[in-house]
Amino acid sequence: MTFGKDKISDDKTTSVGVDIAPGFDFIVNKWMTVETSFSLVNFTSTTTKPNVGDKTTDVSFNANPFDLTGSRSVGGLRVGVKFLF
């Protein structure tokens, strides 16, 4: 969820998104893990309310995690490191 305001034009923006992203968490030792995930389905809605004029809402939905054009790459692969305290 994000909220923002353009300092130049005084426009207000609100964005909400949901992402289903399964993954794996590999335990390296007692205090560190390496995690990976990829996006299966995501939904985003962004509303812009300008200082002058009507507000607009953009909606985005993506449910195709694989690039079927031939490369067979998985959408939005993420890798991270997590430190446990």
Query: How much is the pTM?
Result: 0.58
User: For the segment 36-65, what is each residue's pLDDT rounded down to a tens digit?
Assistant: 988 788 888 888 888 788 999 999 888 765
User: CA-CA distance, 68 to 59, in Å (whole number)?
Assistant: 23
Nearest to 65 by CA among 35, 22, 17: 22
User: Rounded to the nearest 5°, which phi and psi values hold at 52?
Assistant: -125, 130
DSSP state, residue 53: S
Indicate if the pLDDT at residue 17 is higher than 70.
yes
**Residue 20 region by backbone torsions, left for phi larger than 0, else alpha for psi between -120 and 50, else beta:** beta
